[in-house]
Structure formats: C-alpha cells, structure tokens
Amino acid sequence: MNTEHTCKNCGHEIAENFCPNCGQKKYRRIDRKYIIEEAQYSLLHTNKGFLYSVKNILKNPGKTAREFIEGNRVKHYKPILLAFVLSGISAFISIKFIGIYKAMESMTVNGKSVNSPQMQEVMSYVTSYNSFIALLMIPFFALLTKSLFYKWGNNYYEHVVMNAFFQSYYTIIYILILYPIMFFLKDDYNWIMTMMGIAFIILPFLLIWFFKGFYENRKLSTITLRVISMFVIFGVLYFGIIFIAIIINLILNPEAPQQIQ
C-alpha cells in the first residue's frame, strides 16, 4: 500500500484530499508553499473565508446571514469569530490612529475639564472599545431580535449568528467609511462626536436593510415597524446608561455644571 495514500491518523486508505474515515487531510510534505497556504488559512482564511465573507456582507449582509444559517457555510469565515476579529481591528484603529482618549481629554470648557478623571477614563474606554462592547452584547441583541421576530422561524441561536453578521457589517462600515473621516478630523473633538452621532442615526436604516435582506419575502413596512421597536428599546437602554454615567460624573466632579455654564 502506498503510504502517501494512507491516512496518518487512522490508517484508512485515502483516494482524494481528505480521509473518508476520520476527515484528516491527505499527507503532504511541509515546504514553503505549505507554510504560506497554512498562514493564509490560519490568519485570514483569505482563499475563501475572511475576505469572501467581508465582500458578501458589504454586498448584502442580510442575504449573506440567511444563506449561512440555511447551510451555505463552507466558503465563509465563522461569523462570531469574524465579528471578534473585526472588533479587534476597529479597536486598534480607534486607539492608535483616531486617538479617542485624547479626544476625551479635550472635552474642556474655559480650559477646565468637563468630566472628572474617573469619568474620562470610563468614557474613553467605552468609546475606544465600542465594537468590543457591542460584540459582548450580541447575546442580548439576539434575545431582543428573537422576541421581535419570534414568529418568523428562527431560533435564538440562529439570531446569535444573525446579530454577529450585523455586528460585522456595522464594524466594517466604521472601518471603511467613518474611521477614515474621523482620522482627518481627529484634532477636532466636536467632529469626532458628530461622526459618532451620524453612525448612531444611520443604525436603524442599516438594520432595516439587513433584515429586509434576511427576510426578503416579508413586507418592508412590517420589518420597519419591528426595527423601530427594537431601536426604541435599544435607545432607552443606551440613554439610560448615559444618564447613569452623567450622574456618576456629577458625583465625582460636582463643579462640572458650573464649568459648563
């Protein structure tokens, strides 16, 4: 028996690229080409994974998520891992190139800081790592979308994957469009905050487009109503957190109201 056609793991004969018994790849001697291909596969899966998923998400994120959930998965990067990798890239750009922390330090009125040092630290962290925070919120968002679309045939775990795809899409928008603009305006704190406000304003429109692509046979008006409901709930929670942050800031920096006047 030709040992090159014998599985090194279980000893089963291999006729093609993978062992039909245990799934191990056919033996191949390690050389330069092998190392290059493995590096591509391990780091970015560029041959058919990372860039393929990013390209399809940009074209139609909802349709891409639906096709993945329905079983078309072999060419795609794992959605949760994709969201994690993109969040890491986003955080790196935000910290190293945009300089969110410096922008937070520039929040001054008449040369005095609006926030206490503790509040600046919290706000800098939240703003710099907003994509990671959103990533950690995927289980909650999945619960929310599952509740709003509960009669439309997808279970909770499919909604987790669905939200991972949307998180990836939203992060890609930040990386490709918003961050370049913020980079050229990074010395102007007001412009940075304006861009972040725009990102929040366009969020419901991106959600509508995403869910219309996912539920292509559903009426746009029905999807819009559900997205508005989701956005209202999210908005209440978001501004509730901001309100709590303001209260904490007032407690830690009681002179702040006088500085703002």
Given a contact cutoff of 8 angstroms between Cβ atoms, the answer to whether 149 and 127 are in contact is: no
Q: 168, 185, 21: which is closest to 98 by C-alpha?
A: 185
211 by DSSP, 3-state: which? helix
Angle in degrees, 0-180, between the axes of helices 156-173 and 138-148, rounded to the nearest 10: 120
Tens of pLDDT along 193-233? 777 778 778 888 999 999 999 998 899 999 999 999 888 88
Angle in degrees, 0-180, between the axes of helices 156-173 and 61-69, rounded to the nearest 10: 150
- Distance between CA atoms of residues 164 and 78, nearest Å: 10
Given a cut of 90, whether residue 132 has pLDDT beyond it is: no
Instruction: Give the residue-averaged pLDDT of 62-79.
Output: 88
Given a cut of 60, whether residue 109 has pLDDT beyond it is: no
Instruction: Give the residue-averaged pLDDT of 100-119.
Output: 52
Instruction: Give the residue-averaged pLDDT of 135-158.
Output: 87
Residue 78: which pLDDT band, with cuts at 50, 70 and 90?
confident
Backbone angles phi, psi at 252, to 5 degrees: -80, -25
15 by DSSP, 3-state: which? coil
Q: 82, 97, 181, 180: which is closest to 131 by C-alpha?
A: 82
Residue 96: which pLDDT band, with cuts at 50, 70 and 90?
confident
Residue-level pLDDT at 108: 46
Residue-level pLDDT at 61: 94
